[in-house]
C-alpha cells in the first residue's frame, strides 16, 4: 500500500471514530425512547400525519424509509446513511415496513396499514426513501434502491437539501 493510501485510510478511520463519538454524545442528549429507537434502527412510525406535523413545526421535511424485512440494502441505507442523517443533521426520519399489516395513519389522517400505504405510494422496491412536506406531498425526488452505494450518500444529501429548500420556501 502506498504512503498516500495509508494516510487516506487513517483519515477515514479518524473521521469514523469522530462520528461514533459524536453519535454517542448526541444519543446521551436524546430522550431515552429515541436512543433505543435509533440504536435498534429507525423509529417505525404509526402515524405519518403526527410525524409530519412535528417535522414541519421545525421547518424540516419528514424522511420516510420504506423497508423490507431481510433486505440487506435496507440495512445498509438505514445504518450507514439514514440514522447518521437523523443524528447529525436533526432531520426527522421514520420507517414504514413493506408487507406488514401494522396499523398506520397516513398523511391525511386516514387509518391504513404499512403494506397498504406502501402500495398507495406505488412503491415496489426496497429501500425507497421519500421526502414529505405539507399534506404529505413529496418535496424531493424519491431515492429508490441502494445498488449505487458509492454515491448513495451524495444522492441522499442532494434530496435532503432540495426538500429543506422547498419546506423553508413555504
* Residue whose grid cell is 426513501: 129
Q: Side by side, which strands form the sheet with 143-144?
A: 93-97, 62-67, 128-132, 143-144
- What is the reported pLDDT for 15? 42
Name the pairing type of β-strands 93-97 and 103-105. unpaired
**Coil, strand or helix at 96:** strand
Does this model's pTM top 0.85?
A: no
Q: What pLDDT band is residue 41 in, cutting at 50, 70 and 90?
A: confident
Task: List pLDDT tens digits, range 90-123.
Answer: 999 999 999 999 999 999 999 999 999 999 999 9
- What is the reported pLDDT for 1? 46
Task: List pLDDT tens digits, range 138-148.
Answer: 999 999 998 66
Say what percent of the chain tops pLDDT 70: 75
Task: List pLDDT tens digits, range 125-163.
Answer: 999 999 999 999 999 999 999 866 679 999 999 999 999
Q: What pLDDT band is residue 34 in, cutting at 50, 70 and 90?
A: very low
Round the average pLDDT of the chain to a whole number and report it.
83
- What is the reported pLDDT for 170? 79
Is residue 16 over pLDDT 70?
no
Burial (CB count within 10 angstroms: exposed 0-12, middle 13-18, buried 19+), residue 129: buried
**Coil, strand or helix at 125:** coil
65 within 8 A of 94, measured Cβ to Cβ: yes
Is residue 22 over pLDDT 70?
no
β partners of residue 44 = 95
Which is nearest to 63 in space by CA: 146, 141, 149, 123?
141
Please give the sequence-ordered ranges of beta strands (E in DSSP) within 98-144, or none if there are none: 103-105, 111-113, 128-132, 143-144
Name the pairing type of β-strands 128-132 and 143-144. antiparallel
Q: Can you give the length of the chain in residues?
A: 170
Task: List pLDDT tens digits, range 49-86.
Answer: 999 999 999 999 999 999 999 999 999 999 999 999 99
- What is the reported pLDDT for 149? 66
160 within 8 A of 64, measured Cβ to Cβ: no
94 within 8 A of 61, measured Cβ to Cβ: no
Cβ atoms within 10 Å, residue 90: 10
Amino acid at each position: 500500500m502506498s504512503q498516500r493510501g495509508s494516510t487516506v485510510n487513517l483519515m477515514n478511520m479518524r473521521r469514523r471514530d469522530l462520528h461514533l463519538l459524536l453519535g454517542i454524545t448526541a444519543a446521551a442528549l436524546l430522550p431515552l425512547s429515541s436512543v433505543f429507537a435509533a440504536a435498534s434502527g429507525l423509529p417505525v412510525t404509526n402515524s405519518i400525519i403526527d410525524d409530519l406535523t412535528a417535522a414541519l413545526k421545525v421547518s424540516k421535511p419528514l424522511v420516510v424509509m420504506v423497508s423490507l424485512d431481510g433486505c440487506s440494502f435496507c440495512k445498509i441505507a438505514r445504518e450507514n446513511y439514514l440514522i447518521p442523517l437523523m443524528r447529525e443533521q436533526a432531520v426527522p426520519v421514520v420507517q414504514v415496513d413493506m408487507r406488514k399489516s401494522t396499523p398506520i395513519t397516513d398523511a391525511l389522517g386516514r387509518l391504513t396499514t404499512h403494506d397498504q400505504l406502501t402500495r398507495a405510494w406505488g412503491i415496489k422496491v426496497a429501500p425507497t426513501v421519500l421526502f414529505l412536506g405539507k399534506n404529505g406531498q413529496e418535496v424531493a425526488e424519491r431515492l429508490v434502491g441502494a445498488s449505487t452505494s458509492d454515491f448513495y450518500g451524495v444522492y441522499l444529501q442532494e434530496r435532503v437539501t432540495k426538500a429543506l429548500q422547498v419546506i423553508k420556501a413555504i
